[in-house]
Amino acid sequence: MTPGLRDGLSLITSRHCTRAFLDRVVPREVLAEVLLAASHAPSSRNTQMWQVTVVTGSALEALVAALCESFDRGDPPRPDYAHRPPSLDDAVERRAGHAASGALLAKGYAAPDHAAARAHLRDNLRFYGAPTALVCHLPANAVPGTFLEMGFFLQNVMLGLVAGGLGSCPQFSVAGYGDVLRLKLGIDADRLVVCTLAVGYADEAAPVNRFVPRRAGLEEYVQWRN
């Protein structure tokens, strides 16, 4: 394996969800450089339909307060699109269950019960205490291919953050409160919220940041044809 390939693969495999952050401001110029580089993601006819709203400081504090108020009031999440199929096969369900229970146990909950899951979800709405949140959105008429392009862009962002010594966590759960995001951040009503991304410097001492779910083996998702 060449050093270049080794370094590139190491960058990819070192990315995982960060769920505890240091109280340290992320420089705006670093975010700008990462977001600019991420725009080199492929898109059909170079349309680049993704948009990002970067939220920090008092705007982030106000957004967190509004999200938690909605959650505590019992408002049901109303995401702008379906995130997963209504049913999953056994192997996929096992991976999802392991990831969910593992994260809760790593955060110190004695058992992955309903109360723990609810507390964890509320922590999502706090962006896990991250100093920066990105809200990623598309036109309301987005189609599956548009989401594919947003995925290319988001992966570039997350890998660029890793290269810059930063951690992140993509969050569909927060997108369930799209109306709150649009209202508090002045995002147009015709924008579809895809996800948010909690961004900051990882608290390496936090046990939850040492939890990395097992990835599927090649035999589970690759078919070779000769």
Can you tell me the distance from the alpha carbon of 187 to that of 168, in angstroms, rounded to the nearest whole number?
22
Tell me phi and psi for residue 222, to 5 degrees: -120, 135
Q: Token pair of 61, please?
A: 């504090």
All domains of the chain in start order, with CATH: 15-82+124-212 (3.40.109.10)
CA distances from 187 to 74, 89, 181, 192 (A): 23, 36, 7, 9
Can you tell me the distance from the alpha carbon of 163 to that of 11, in angstroms, rounded to the nearest whole number?
7
Q: What is the pLDDT of residues 159-213, one digit of tens each?
A: 999 999 999 999 999 999 999 999 999 999 999 999 999 999 999 999 999 999 9
The whole-number pLDDT of residue 208 equals 96
Burial of 48 (0-12, 13-18, 19+ CB in 10 A): middle
The whole-number pLDDT of residue 124 equals 96
Angle at 212 between CA 193 and CA 115, to 5 degrees: 65
The whole-number pLDDT of residue 8 equals 93
Q: Give the list of residues 6+ apart from residue 100 with CB closer than 8 angstroms, or none.
A: 112, 117
The whole-number pLDDT of residue 1 equals 85
The whole-number pLDDT of residue 46 equals 97
Q: Quote the strand ranges of the chain, DSSP E.
A: 51-56, 132-139, 167-171, 191-200
Burial readout 181-203 (b: 16 or more C-beta within 10 A, e: otherwise): bbebbebeeebbbbbbbbbbbbb
Question: pLDDT band at residue 3, thresholds of 50, 70 and 90?
Answer: confident
Mean pLDDT over each residue of the chain, to the nearest integer: 95
* Mean predicted confidence (pLDDT) in 79-95: 91
Tell me phi and psi for residue 163, to 5 degrees: -60, -30
Which DSSP string do the residues of 123-189 spell out, in sequence order? HHHTGGG-SEEEEEEEETT--HHHHHHHHHHHHHHHHHHHHTT-EEEEEHHHHTTHHHHHHHHT--T
Of 133, 137, 127, nearest in space to 68 by CA? 127
What pTM was estimated for this model as a whole?
0.95
Q: What is the pLDDT of residues 107-141, one digit of tens each?
A: 988 777 888 889 999 999 999 999 999 999 999 99
Can you tell me the distance from the alpha carbon of 56 to that of 130, in angstroms, rounded to the nearest whole number?
9
